[in-house]
Structure 1
């Protein structure tokens, strides 16, 4: 279904607004992917706060004009799905997992930190632990430190008691 001019302007404005707060954009070809697969990846994207949509490339190019994601415009050809996230790695992780699960999905490009990324760059970005994963790791380490400290103090106490006896 074709969009009228007003609808196109609304889509461009919505995408531009989303890009305004985004840190990462990832673009992937999805030709031949089933509706069920797309529905599943969209569900996962929503959980991870990733804006994941199929947008006409001409509208996507207009939306990135004048933004830090403008260099992506040259990569916007073909049947594409766009992943946009405020989290630096979320969009890359979602689309990378989608590509691993479905051989018809091909990562085209991405942008993070004002740098254009190729397929390998997007995969490398996806391999970085997310903020939540890093916080969980730090909390795990912090929980181990007090336990280790208590065992150390108990061992010193036991040693001193043995020396005194």
Structure 2
């Protein structure tokens, strides 16, 4: 049974995990307080909150949120979590940009949609140009083309029938005016 302080911390982490769109786990061992504050200030404009967390408490918070797709092996070593509340891509980009400027920070994993992501997947997510809106637009474009073609193919026979009927009506009207 966890102590009241640990239970409160688990509840806080569970709330942050539930509210965040992505939680990126990094190892910041060796960072000074000044460097940690620098990390926080660089990601804060993207509505990202950075917090050091105990692995056991973070694992229990993920379990409390019923995140069965999270690999329990990601909870090892010293862990700092970057909770991204708005844009998953912008959060991944901000964290990976900081990683490139710091030799002491290591990307461990991420939690996205109740599933864990490998460091490679997080870096791939960060490389999406234009961010989340651009990725959504590309998805809509990819879906819209085949749907438009399918609609045209299904509508063509009915449209052609209407053209034939309209031509026949005009032909009959023309015959009536000639006989009158």
TM-score by length of 1: 0.70
Shift of 1:30: 1.3
Runs of 4+ in 1 over 6 A off after TM superposition: none
* 2:53 aligned counterpart, secondary structure: coil
Shift of 1:47: 1.7
> Contact 1:41/1:94 (CA < 8 Å) preserved in 2?
no
Within 1, Cα distance between the matches of 2:40 and 2:122?
Answer: 19
Match of 2:141 in 1: none
Within 2, Cα distance between the matches of 1:72 and 1:95?
Answer: 21
CA-based RMSD: 2.4
Match of 2:124 in 1: 124
Shift of 1:91: 2.9
Count of residue correspondences: 132
Q: Which has the higher helix share?
A: 2
Within 2, Cα distance between the matches of 1:115 and 1:60?
Answer: 14
Question: Structure 1, residues 41-70: CA drift from partner, whole Å, max 9, x if none?
Answer: 111222211121001111111111143545
Within 2, Cα distance between the matches of 1:43 and 1:72?
Answer: 29
Select 2:32's aligned residue among 28, 31, 34.
34
The gaps in structure 2 that reach 5 residues or longer are: 135-180
> Contact 1:89/1:126 (CA < 8 Å) preserved in 2?
yes
Bigger radius of gyration, 1 or 2?
2
Within 2, Cα distance between the matches of 1:91 and 1:77?
Answer: 22
Match of 1:95 in 2: 95
The gaps in structure 1 that reach 5 residues or longer are: 135-165
Report the CA distance shift for 1:72/1:36 in structure 2 as closer, same or farther (over 3 A): farther
**Structure 1 position 73 matched with structure 2 position 72:** yes
